[in-house]
Amino acid sequence: MRLTSIAAIFVLFWVMSFFIVLPFGVRTSEELGEPNVPGQAESAPHRFSFPRTALRATIVALGLFGLFYANYVNGWVAADALDWLN
């Protein structure tokens, strides 16, 4: 596998992981005992930390990509095994 393919697939795993970990660790203003800003949704987070979420997404993406690459090298699950229609 070429390095550009590895980078592109890792970016896809990272973006997917970012959206997966996005709701974890979020606290609303009500949970923190703070007043809502006028017009703010009740479910909106009080504070959002992009670096913390990016770090979590990177850790998850590294694990998922590691499994993907190990499968690519070792051939545990081939593409033919996923063809359920034929």
Q: Is residue 13 part of a domain?
A: yes
Total structural domains within the chain: 1
pLDDT of residue 22: 94
CB 61 within 8 A of CB 13: yes
Expressed as residue numbers, the domain containing 27 is 3-77
pLDDT of residue 36: 86
Q: Is residue 15 part of a domain?
A: yes
The 10s digit of each residue's pLDDT in 23-75 is 998 898 888 888 888 888 888 888 899 999 999 999 999 999 999 999 999 99
Q: Is residue 57 part of a domain?
A: yes
The residue behind tokens 């550009």 is: 4
Q: Is residue 86 part of a domain?
A: no
Confidence check: pLDDT of 85 > 80? yes
Q: Name the β-bridge partners of 45.
A: 28
Q: DSSP labels for 14-83?
A: HHHHHHHHTTTT--BHHHHTPPPPTT--TTSBS---HHHHHHHHHHHHHHHHHHHHHHHHH-SS-GGGG-
Q: Report pTM.
A: 0.83
